[in-house]
Amino acid sequence: MSVLAFDRVGIRYGAHRALSEFSLNLAPGEAVALIGGTGSGKSSASLAALGLLHAGASLEGTVRREGRVAMIFQEPLLALNPLMTIGAQVAEAVTARHAMKHRAAAAEAARLLAEVGLDPTAIPPQRYPHELSGGQRQRVAIAIALASEPAVLIADEPTTALDPETATQVMALVARLVRERHMALLLVTHDLDLARGIADRIVLLDHGHVIETGPLPAILEAPRTAALLERMHHRPQRRRSQPDTPPVLQAIGLQHGYGARTVIAGVNLALHAGQIVGLVGSSGEGKSTLLRLVLGLEHPQHGQVLIDGHDLHKARGADLRGLRRKVQAVFQDPGASLDPRWRVGRIVAEPLGLLEPRLPPAERDARVCAVLARVGLPEDAASRLPGAFSGGQRQRIALARALVVEPEVIVLDEATSALDAHVRAEILDLIASLADEGLAFLFVTHDRSMIEGLADRLYRLSAGKLIAQDLPPRAPREP
């Protein structure tokens, strides 16, 4: 018996066909991985299973469900309500399934949170999503999904935004729950390694068509699989720069903590023009705190942040604005950092309004158009809303917003982790080309294998201290 069945499903968005003749059956307790890059149709298939296709989409064929279908989304911070406690959100899902009084629903919510590894004595249900780590937030999202007692669990890129250790823990939890509850699992991902340890079958999608299906060993031997995976997992390489100028950004003896807990313990870091410095580390090791100090969003308890030799935390007024202009940031999820109600032109121009308020409108618009072209976006991008773009294009918009004020340094906070491998490679190629033009990058990531091909230097932040990491040999870049 199938709990979820696609029978020759086709999906169109206007003239664009996202999925063609797609057929798939899931049995209770079976785990199937749907693998493909951007535009492959995998997300459209998962939305069709939930009956959540976008307005204007046309559906051909049939989707049959036996029992409830629940979904875990990629970014739990966006999926959770920031104004509700985690216990209240799980209880809300419980009462949607069962008629319960408040106290009983709260008790069931606490039980579900404990089932996904959030012990109420350590992580009280009264906490809010922003008080949890990324892995803990994803566990809350899983608890909400379980509240409906689903026959099918769809996991849409559930670990993309997590560091490797946390991702492994979350996937182990999903595998255990699928086994114990005898649910079917549809894992939507671009990561073959993620599917390797959990999926009974692999379905490989490319441009809306199934190109291979079967158990993992057979899939890996198929010639079309190798070609697709090579395209999806291209990792850019660049020669290392040889600095011959003073650093544009320095952290000297930085120390910072919260209460009795020391988070940053004597960090020293120098970044030169044209360099990419990588920073890796697990969740909770202080990477985000270090970035806030470097960006001037928090003042260190000890030490200095120097931009072109000037102390960021002692500057005031126009001097401070000038230093802030030189260091810009691009964050992990462009869906959260771009205002969905603003046109792209307004989004990109916003920093100019703050830092150069007297700039003539014609010159402002010209700079916006120039920087959008520089990051590879189409001419009409300025007049469109962020929702009209793919995830990779939205991250290009975020990069354009950082570039428009002509900074010397860009801080990248997991800026590619929410993208699939093929789009990630395109963004990394763009970053490499900008570094070759003289821009410096401080690149925070949990993906060491990705950053090794780009970084001039690599550090691991552990227990608040920077530890230099060895990089594989590469030829130095000509100055």
In a domain, 240, yes or no: no
pLDDT band at 477 (very low <50, low <70, confident <90, very high): very low
Provide mean pLDDT across the span 422-447. Answer: 88
In a domain, 479, yes or no: no
How many domains are contained in the chain? 2
pLDDT at 91: 96
Provide mean pLDDT across the span 200-219. Answer: 87
Instruction: Give the closest residue to 190 by CA, choosing from 221, 232, 148.
Output: 232
Compute the mean pLDDT over every residue in the chain, rounded to the nearest whole number. 88
Name the maximum alpha-carbon separation found in the chain: 70
Amino acid residing at 324: R
The whole model's pTM is what? 0.74
Per DSSP, the three-state class of 113 is helix
pLDDT band at 201 (very low <50, low <70, confident <90, very high): very high
Provide mean pLDDT across the span 397-404. Answer: 95
pLDDT above 90: residue 183: yes
Whether residues 220 and 343 fall in one domain:
no
Mean pLDDT lowest among 108-117, 138-147, 192-201, 352-361: 192-201
Whether residues 113 and 256 fall in one domain:
no
Whether residues 305 and 338 fall in one domain:
yes
Whether residues 107 and 175 fall in one domain:
yes
Which of 190, 206, 232 finishes a domain? 232
In a domain, 243, yes or no: no
Count the helix, strand and coil residues of the chain and give each as a percent rounded to the nearest 5.
40, 25, 35
Whether residues 262 and 339 fall in one domain:
yes
φ, ψ of residue 412 to 5 degrees: the values are -105, 110
In a domain, 350, yes or no: yes
Whether residues 174 and 272 fall in one domain:
no
Which of the two residues, 96 and 475, has the higher pLDDT score?
96
Alpha helix (H) residue ranges in 148-240: 164-181, 192-196, 216-221, 223-232
Task: State how far the Cα of 442 lies from the Cα of 326, in Å rounded to an integer.
Answer: 13
In a domain, 242, yes or no: no
Burial code (b: 16+ CB inside 10 Å, e: under 16) for 132-168 equals bebbbbbbbbbbbbbbbebbbbbbbbbbbbbbeebbe
Task: State how far the Cα of 115 lies from the Cα of 180, in Å rounded to an integer.
Answer: 11
Instruction: Give the closest residue to 446 by CA, choosing from 321, 279, 310, 315.
Output: 279
Which of the two residues, 39 and 25, has the higher pLDDT score?
25
The residue written with tokens 């700079």 in the block is: 367
Provide mean pLDDT across the span 184-200. Answer: 86
Alpha-carbon distance values, 316 to 141, 353, 402 (Å): 43, 19, 22
Tally of helices (H runs) and strands (E runs) in the chain: 17, 19
In a domain, 191, yes or no: yes
In a domain, 354, yes or no: yes
The residue written with tokens 């975020």 in the block is: 398
pLDDT at 84: 96
Percent of the chain with pLDDT over 70: 93
pLDDT above 70: residue 446: yes
Alpha helix (H) residue ranges in 17-68: 42-50
pLDDT at 408: 96
**Residues of the domain holding 44:** 4-232
Task: State how far the Cα of 400 lies from the Cα of 338, in Å rounded to an integer.
Answer: 12
Whether residues 205 and 266 fall in one domain:
no
Whether residues 216 and 134 fall in one domain:
yes
pLDDT band at 475 (very low <50, low <70, confident <90, very high): very low
CATH number, residue 136: 3.40.50.300
pLDDT at 195: 83
Whether residues 47 and 164 fall in one domain:
yes
pLDDT above 70: residue 128: yes
Whether residues 220 and 259 fall in one domain:
no
Instruction: Write the pLDDT tens digit of every residue in 317-359.
Output: 889 989 999 999 998 777 778 998 999 999 999 999 999 999 9
Strongest mean pLDDT among 165-169, 201-205, 208-212, 404-408: 404-408
pLDDT above 80: residue 37: no
Provide mean pLDDT across the span 127-141. Answer: 90
pLDDT at 476: 46
